[in-house]
Structure 1
């Protein structure tokens, strides 16, 4: 796995962590994770005067959480390891990303608890080959699906997944989509990071792309989209994602870039909301976040969804949310859709066979070229987490400086 200054991109069949861990020296351990510019951007101080996440459990599906970190001690319950790759706490590849994400959740909701469920590794090199994952799926197993179901069955109030795929092929997994549905029906909101391919191919990222998941994009200090944040229509809201100080698996702190910390911070906000009103449904959580977001001048878009989260406004609005209209409703249309269905018939001119043959041949040549390029770029057919990299220095107006292409 190759790293660049700001991040990596997983190759065609790779599930990638969407956070980017800093390489600055760790700072001395403190009792709580330091709050930087993200506190003001979220309106965190005012939000925490209303709620601090009391009684809420946030399931962090990730690479494991070091529960003895000073910022996490006494707040973490460790669930099963569904990845089952043989790594244990203390290994440098265990809990690097997950520990960072858990600390970001508690930075927002300091009185919440964390349920750590390990579903990914910190490094691609140690994750199962795609063929191994296919075997697991054939056995009815998916670490992420199992992790979601476990979290729901063991009292999670919110599920946070700072992970995602950057894959052109076979990223959708029916069992994971079904697990998301299981959580939503149980009343548990599910959040996922939008992805870090915004300065690359903007690949569709799952689980952010599954229906019902609240997809979180990343902003930089001036409130605009972080350059790496994936641009896609599934984006719902946005949160700070540049230079977010987070806990390390060695006991210190490092700055983090990515939609990973954005998702974790957003999950903390949802914990504040549900502590304020435990009856909030996933649909109401989504509606409140959208209604209270700092809506861009041009309205919602694929860049940042409906805009950056306003934690103070979201918590306040949670006390009287809009009615949940997602309940099952009886179908009142026709009894069946037999012929005729009202669709007008249409006619088409005869195909010009020579033109079709020429176009088909050209398309075939292009497809072969594309496949060849993909095979050259791919470093291995793996579906596993990506590492995290240090925040790059800021350019004018807080913009990320130009970066080279991802390498995976």
Structure 2
């Protein structure tokens, strides 16, 4: 049996054991000590064992903005330092309801399987019906989006990484507070990651929040490192991570396999936490550059399917010690060029002259329309008078 076959057999056996355990433990969450979600093929794909020899995310805080969580699940128990407000109040759900925290509980467990010693803060910014990237993210009654509030909450609680396994809408539909919140995060040195989406190769619009220039867009891969069939093809995809059959915490107990760019994003956020534990001074730009440079690049280089390729956690952690120098501070323009095009002589504060020919044509057409309407009304009026006279 080859090494690859042995590895696949081991992973398959582990997955079967996990699924059996999940079936037996379905229902109330057992009151046991904290534990990591069982690993599957993503561990070898990311080379987590090697990365964990250097760090497990100590001292790093990851904010998971999602659908809420069940903090008593063994994979989360005593590992979530703060459960924030419910910024998505429209659904009327509360902790303990059947539709509360399904997706979020799974995502936190995925972050922790990669960075088991990281600190977790969470807030509810979306509900489980909108975790498939198929609809617009709704706003609260006060007009401020839940995602914007969630990002600010993460900053207030000293997050180093923000994991956003959410999506919906396109970039040009966003309001200013959402864009500003992401900008504030990056300005404070916080790295944001978001899922590319699960719409396959449909369209190529920018998807919030993954489509923002200062957010790392995460695609999903299947065993072997190729794009998962559902992973949305985007030219702004940055990197990719495993996203098929990821064994994640079930809110009601046990574990279940999860597909999507959501678990891929959570795993990538965990790798980012490992990098920051190794070098807390990394900037978001350096983190992005390292993830891209150390990834397992696809044939032909960066593409819209998986970005720079599947993350290599061990290589990324090693590279964090010697980050590239990237100066992202704003700089004043010091060039000699006053204009980037030949001046036209148009006054900067006056409007150009109106095209009177087009205006005359439009007014003429409007006048003809008015005459036709008036003429029709006059004919109807005369006809009505003749009918009354005949009576």
TM-score using structure 1 length: 0.72
Task: After superposition, give the CA deviation of every residue in 1:20-68 in whole Å (9 maximum; x if it has no partner).
Answer: xx9x964536822000000000010000111100011100000011111
2:86 aligned partner:
81
Partner of residue 142 from structure 1, selected from 145, 150, 153: 145
Give the Cα–Cα distance (whole angstroms) in 2 for the partners of residues 37 and 217 of structure 1. Answer: 17
1:151 aligns with 2:154: yes
Describe the SS at the equivalent of 1:235.
coil
Tell me if 1:225 matches 2:231.
no
Checking the alignment, whether the CA contact within 8 Å between 2:106 and 2:249 is kept in structure 1 is yes
Match for residue 280 of structure 2?
278
Structure 1 residue 49 corresponds to structure 2 residue 76: no
The answer to whether the 8 Å contact 1:197/1:229 transfers is: yes
Which of residues 39, 42, 47 is equivalent to 1:38? Answer: 42
Structure 1 counterpart SS, 2:311? coil
Structure having the higher Rg? 2
Q: Is the 8 A contact 1:197 1:203 kept in 2?
A: no
Which residue of 152, 171, 174 corresponds with 1:172? 174
Q: Please give the alpha-carbon distance, in whole angstroms, between the structure 1 residues aligned to 2:216 and 2:116.
A: 22
Instruction: Give matches, 1:4-403, under 5 Å.
Output: 26=23, 28=25, 31-76=35-80, 77-85=82-90, 86-124=92-130, 133=139, 136-137=142-143, 141-165=144-168, 167=169, 171-334=173-336, 336-337=338-339, 340-341=342-343
**Which segment drifts farther, 71-80 or 196-205?**
196-205
Change in CA separation of 1:112 and 1:207 when aligned onto 2, cut-off 3 Å: same
Is the alpha carbon distance of 1:26 and 1:175 closer, same or farther for their aligned partners in structure 2, counting shifts above 3 Å? farther
Whether the aligned pair in 2 keeps the contact of 1:64 and 1:95 (CA below 8 Å) is: yes
Mapped partners of 1:318, 1:338: distance in 2: 39
Provide the C-alpha distance between the structure 2 equivalents of 1:163 and 1:27, rounded to a whole number of angstroms: 30
Give the conservation status (yes or no) of the 8 Å contact 2:89–2:140.
no
Which residue does the alignment assign to 1:345?
A: none
CA distance in structure 1 between the partners assigned to 2:137 and 2:275 by the alignment: 41
Question: Which structure 2 segments of 5+ residues have no match?
Answer: 1-18, 345-391
CA distance in 2, matches of 1:178, 1:228: 30
Distance change (3 Å), C-alpha of 1:341 and 1:288 = farther
Per the alignment, in what secondary structure is the counterpart of residue 259 of structure 2? strand
CA contact (8 A) 1:61 1:116 kept: yes
* Structure richer in helix, relative to its length: 2
Q: How many residues in Structure 1 have an aligned counterpart in Structure 2?
A: 315
Report the alpha carbon displacement of residue 288 of structure 1 after superposing the two structures with TM: 0.5
Q: Does the 8 Å CA contact 1:276/1:315 hold for their aligned counterparts?
A: yes
5+ residue gaps, structure 1: 1-21, 343-408
SS where residue 186 of structure 2 aligns? helix
TM-score, with length taken from structure 2: 0.75
Does the CA-based 8 Å contact 2:290-2:320 persist in structure 1?
yes
Contact 2:217 2:237 in 1 (8 A): yes
Please give the alpha-carbon distance, in whole angstroms, between the structure 2 residues aligned to 1:279 and 1:324.
12
